[in-house]
Structure 1
């Protein structure tokens, strides 16, 4: 059985999970909490690589800021999508104001910005908020192209 690397939502430990068991709510070997939280994980510059680049699962990253009205409006859409899409896709939120070096490293020029990573590589990016149905359709298109 294929083993997938998935970072624990609670403690950030990399766990190896059998691909077929990902939907069985696997428990982290270190903290004994569920590896998948079914809600977006807030990530910093210090743990970005661990949560986004060092996993075998697709990861959708939302760069946002608290002063950005479209970001605030999109937040519930992003949170709701996480409950339905995880563990097929992991969801990560990054405060662009709190992570200036990371925002610069990734070339974030506007917010909200959505970046899709798969196996450590950026696959797609989209600027701007979307209504729930459009976001879900965009995700479905992107993930189906990845074959996951």
Structure 2
């Protein structure tokens, strides 16, 4: 693609390099799940009333990640369900799994408590945002 200046000549090298850099940055942010507003881990979670699944889908002492909704639901103890954003507060990556009592991010090794979303292993320094749940009749919904 050729970008023309008002004079009709081709784009300058500086313009081309700047455009290529902006495209690369956009691709990097998309790949890491980040956004231009920062990586606080807030904002992209599923909406109010979104049905996530069944209580039977969530193992006791573990959890399940709902990738499309950007939510992780845990069951720290029998019958107790918690929900957190599944976007890591360190670099905006989506967490990859739940095991050993923690929600784990594969990007840089951060780990968060399944009980309260607090940081159990750096590099993250902020907890996962806790979300409200409605658990009724064996169904789990975001409240």
Range of TM-score over shorter length: under 0.3
Q: Which has the higher strand share?
A: 2
- Which structure is larger by alpha-carbon Rg, 1 or 2? 2
TM-score using structure 2 length? 0.25
Q: Which structure has the highest helix share of the two?
A: 1
TM-score, normalization by structure 1: 0.25
